[in-house]
Chains A and B, each alone.
Chain A
Amino acid sequence: MSLLDIQSLVVQYHTFAANVKAVDRVSLRMEKGHTLGLVGESGCGKSTLGLSTLRLVPPPGKITDGHITLDSIDVVNCSDEEIRRIRGKRVGYIFQDPMTSLNPVKKISNHFVEMIRTHEPETSEEDALKRAKEVLARLGILPERINDFPHQFSGGMRQRVMIGLALALGPDLLIADEPTTSLDVIVEAQIIELLKELKESLKLTLVLITHNIGIVAETADRVAVMYAGRLAELGETDGLFEKPMHPYTQALLNSVPNITKKGQVLSWIPGAPPDLAQPPHGCLYHPRCPHAFDRCRKEEPHLLRHDSSEVACHLFDKR
Chain B
Amino acid sequence: MLEVRNLTKHFPVEKGFLDKLFTSRKSYVHAVDDISFSMKRGDILGLVGESGSGKSTTAKLCLKLIEPTSGSILSEGVDIAKMRGEELRKFRRNMQLIFQDPTASLSPRIKIGDAIKHALTYQKIGTASDQTERTRAILERVGLKPWDNFYDRYPHQLSGGQKQRVVIARALVLNPKFVVADEPIAMVDVSVRAQILELMLELRKEFDLSYLFITHDLAMANYVCRSIAIMYLGKIVETGPKEEVFGKPLHPYTLALLSSIPVPDPKAKLQRIIPRGEIPSPINPPKGCRFHPRCPYAQAVCSEREPQLEEVKPDHDVACFFPRT
Inter-chain contacts of A251 with B (CB < 8 A): 191
Looking at the complex, which of A24-32, A91-99, A130-138, A256-264 is the stretch in contact with chain B?
A256-264
| B144 at the binding interface (Cβ < 8 Å) | no
* Partner among B189, B193, B265, B275 whose Cβ is within 8 Å of the Cβ of A241: B265
| B122 at the binding interface (Cβ < 8 Å) | no
| B220 at the binding interface (Cβ < 8 Å) | yes
Inter-chain contacts of B257 with A (CB < 8 A): 185-186
- Which of chain B's residues 155-181 have a Cβ closer than 8 Å to chain A? 159-162
Over the window 136-169 of chain B, the binary record of Cβ atoms lying under 8 Å from chain A Cβ atoms (1 yes, 0 no) is: 0000000000000000000000011110000000
- Which of chain A's residues 255-285 have a Cβ closer than 8 Å to chain B? 255-260, 264, 266-270, 272-273
Inter-chain contacts of B194 with A (CB < 8 A): 255, 257, 266-268
B263–A217 touching, CB < 8 Å: yes
A258–B50 touching, CB < 8 Å: no
| B267 at the binding interface (Cβ < 8 Å) | yes
| B16 at the binding interface (Cβ < 8 Å) | no
Shortest distance between the CB of A116 and any CB in chain B (Å) = 28
Looking at the complex, which of A166-174, A208-216, A310-318 is the stretch in contact with chain B?
A208-216
B51–A256 touching, CB < 8 Å: no
- Which of chain B's residues 192-209 have a Cβ closer than 8 Å to chain A? 192-195, 197-198
State the CA gap A272–B162 with chains docked (Å): 10
The answer to whether residues A217 and B274 also contact, given A41-B190, A185-B261, A189-B260 and a CB cut-off of 8 A, is no
- Which of chain A's residues 74-100 have a Cβ closer than 8 Å to chain B? none
State the CA gap A154–B281 with chains docked (Å): 10
A217–B268 touching, CB < 8 Å: yes
A184–B274 touching, CB < 8 Å: no
Shortest distance between the CB of B66 and any CB in chain A (Å) = 23
| A101 at the binding interface (Cβ < 8 Å) | no
B274–A266 touching, CB < 8 Å: no
State the CA gap A269–B161 with chains docked (Å): 11
A185–B191 touching, CB < 8 Å: no
* Partner among B159, B260, B263 whose Cβ is within 8 Å of the Cβ of A185: B260
* Partner among A237, A268, A272 whose Cβ is within 8 Å of the Cβ of B193: A268
Q: Which 6 A/B pairs are nearest by Cβ-Cβ distance?
A: A214-B262, A189-B260, A266-B194, A268-B195, A257-B219, A269-B191
Interface residues on A, range: 35 or more
The number of residues on chain B lying at the interface, defined by a beta carbon within 8 Å of a beta carbon of chain A, is: 41
Most A C-beta atoms less than 10 A away, residue of B160, B197, B256, B261: B261
State the CA gap A272–B50 with chains docked (Å): 30
| A301 at the binding interface (Cβ < 8 Å) | no
Shortest distance between the CB of B72 and any CB in chain A (Å) = 31
Inter-chain contacts of A215 with B (CB < 8 A): 262
A266–B197 touching, CB < 8 Å: yes
A252–B191 touching, CB < 8 Å: yes
Shortest distance between the CB of B142 and any CB in chain A (Å) = 15
Most B C-beta atoms less than 10 A away, residue of A41, A155, A256: A256
The answer to whether residues A238 and B267 also contact, given A211-B190, A212-B262 and a CB cut-off of 8 A, is yes
Shortest distance between the CB of A232 and any CB in chain B (Å) = 12
State the CA gap A218–B192 with chains docked (Å): 23
| B278 at the binding interface (Cβ < 8 Å) | yes
* Partner among B192, B197, B246, B256 whose Cβ is within 8 Å of the Cβ of A259: B246
Inter-chain contacts of B267 with A (CB < 8 A): 238, 241
> Which B residues form the contact surface with A (CB < 8 A)?
50-51, 159-162, 189-195, 197-198, 216, 218-220, 222-223, 246, 256-268, 270, 272, 274-275, 278-279
State the CA gap A41–B272 with chains docked (Å): 28
State the CA gap A305–B60 with chains docked (Å): 53
Inter-chain contacts of A41 with B (CB < 8 A): 189-191
The answer to whether residues A260 and B274 also contact, given A186-B50, A268-B193, A272-B159 and a CB cut-off of 8 A, is no
| A190 at the binding interface (Cβ < 8 Å) | yes
Inter-chain contacts of A257 with B (CB < 8 A): 194, 219-220, 222-223
| A188 at the binding interface (Cβ < 8 Å) | yes
B264–A213 touching, CB < 8 Å: yes
B189–A273 touching, CB < 8 Å: yes
B223–A264 touching, CB < 8 Å: yes
B191–A186 touching, CB < 8 Å: no
B195–A193 touching, CB < 8 Å: no
- Which of chain A's residues 203-254 have a Cβ closer than 8 Å to chain B? 211-215, 217-218, 237-238, 241, 251-253
Inter-chain contacts of A255 with B (CB < 8 A): 190-191, 193-194
* Partner among A189, A258, A266 whose Cβ is within 8 Å of the Cβ of B265: A258
B262–A186 touching, CB < 8 Å: no
A256–B190 touching, CB < 8 Å: yes
| A33 at the binding interface (Cβ < 8 Å) | no
- The closest CB in chain A to the CB of B195 belongs to A268
A184–B51 touching, CB < 8 Å: yes
18 contacts between A and B (CB under 8 A): A41-B189, A184-B216, A185-B257, A186-B274, A186-B275, A187-B278, A189-B272, A213-B190, A218-B270, A238-B266, A241-B265, A256-B190, A257-B220, A258-B219, A259-B219, A260-B265, A272-B160, A272-B189
